Amino acid sequence: MFHKEKLIALCLIPVLLFAGCGKTESSGTTIQATTTTTTTTAATTAETSAVPTETTIDIKTSTIDNGYLQQATIGGVSYSLTIDLAKWEKNTSMEQIGTLEEVFWEVYPRLYKRFGEYSKAPVDVVLHIENEGYEIAEAWENNVHIHDQWLMNNPTDFDCFVHELAHVIQNGWDEEYLEYSGYIERFADYCRFIYAFKNGLYNDEGWELQTVENEPDRESSVRFLVWLDYNLSSPDRDFILNYFRICSSMKYEKTAWDKAWAELFKGTKFEGMSIDKVWELYASSDFAMLSSYSGSNGTSELLTKYDIRSRY
């Protein structure tokens, strides 16, 4: 199943671009054969509720046909990232590809620790940088495609990769067991915001959580998930992990999600409330309206008032 990246243009109008899945013959790109060991810095967490700490990890890099392979063990889990350059035409620079590698090693182990162990998500991911008919980015199974011209024209949109890695972590949610099929994309954008590369250094200048005015219901709202997480998660309860488990387990058909929400709210301050009532509480809060855009001056209005990312 293919998942398409939802991008928010600088004019703040959400645009959903759909991609094809055709393949073409390999261009036969030749990569010089070398083997190196690289040391880099990535954020990891021992517990899903813990604030990530910086730690040095060893990444072993080796060449393969038309690309290269990176491998490292973090928290006892062995991960690998394959960079497939068979259809790369050098529109994406090697420096940008290097940044995408950093995104993977900073973000994916944290996503896996929090969600992927439950969904049995793959630990081996292949990134295809391809100058062909796909639009922007998409994911299927353990593969992520990023169009070779996207970062050339949008040179700091590295967090599109975070969105697609969240789809890999989902490992195939079934729309028949989601209240709305849009929850697939909403979760990926929740991850894009919470796990934004380098604490939103690039993401928060060009991509925003839309306000309740632009995403006026829970089917469309990413910010609503962020608000639920902020209000209901604690060291003893990970609300979004529980939400993820329900979405992954196919426990409730789409017509029975009143029961799913009742289960999620049990034991919280929203216990006994309908999901519509909880939405009303969200929609009337300043959380629903504060800007998440940082500009070039630092922290956004939303993050200035609400310390959203620090626990992850």
In the prediction, which pLDDT does 81 show?
Answer: 98
Q: What is the pTM of this model?
A: 0.85
In the prediction, which pLDDT does 298 show?
Answer: 79
Rounded Cα distance, 214 and 217, in Å: 9
In the prediction, which pLDDT does 46 show?
Answer: 32
pLDDT (tens place) for every residue of the chain, 312 residues total:
334 343 333 232 222 322 323 323 333 444 443 344 443 333 333 334 333 445 688 999 999 999 999 999 999 999 999 999 999 999 999 999 999 999 999 999 999 999 999 999 999 999 999 998 777 999 999 999 999 999 999 999 999 999 999 999 999 999 999 999 999 999 999 999 999 999 999 999 999 999 999 999 999 999 999 999 999 999 999 999 999 999 999 999 999 999 999 999 999 999 999 999 999 999 999 999 999 999 876 799 999 999 999 988
| DSSP SS3 for 146 | strand
Q: What is the DSSP string of 42-78?
A: EEE-SSTTSPPEEEEEEEEEEEETTEEEEEEEETTEE
Whole-number Cα distances in Å, 231 to 6, 7, 200, 268? 25, 26, 21, 9
Paired tokens of 96: 């940008």
pLDDT 10s digits, 106-151: 999 999 999 999 999 999 999 999 998 777 999 999 999 999 999 9
In the prediction, which pLDDT does 47 show?
Answer: 38
In the prediction, which pLDDT does 296 show?
Answer: 72
In the prediction, which pLDDT does 295 show?
Answer: 82
Residues of the chain with pLDDT > 90: what percent? 78
Rounded Cα distance, 73 and 271, in Å: 40
The residues spanned by each domain of the chain are 3-174, 189-305
